Amino acid sequence: MSSTTTELADLQRALGQLRASVGALRSRYGDVNAVRRISNDVERLGIDIAELTSLPVPRGGAGPGAAETVIVPDTPYDSSLWRDADDEGVGGQRGY
């Protein structure tokens, strides 16, 4: 069993416990707004967990949309990039 499968199984167990707890809260407090909101949140978690279980397990720990490292060189920028630009909030550098 991979760690992702174990994590999803743990999530599903925790979700089952949450559902049972929400049922107990509903029995104690009735159908009040707070219990309905919590119940809605638990339902949304169930939808998200189901979606995760349907996705392929990513290899190497980097899934879709993982951040890509961008290397920024230490060399100075071309000064022509800043021609006709002012430092915002510092005021104009042109003397007018």
Task: Output the pLDDT for position 78.
Answer: 84
Tracing tokens 């499968």 back to the chain, one arrives at 5
* Residue 51 pLDDT exceeds 70: yes
- Establish how many alpha carbons lie within 13 A of residue 76's alpha carbon, considering only the half-sphere containing its beta carbon: 4
Torsion angle (degrees, nearest 10) of CA 77, 80, 84, 86 = 10
Residue 87 β-bridge partners: 91
Instruction: Please count the other Cβ atoms lying within 10 Å of the Cβ belonging to residue 52.
Output: 13
pLDDT digits (tens, 9 = 90+) for 13-27: 999 999 999 999 999
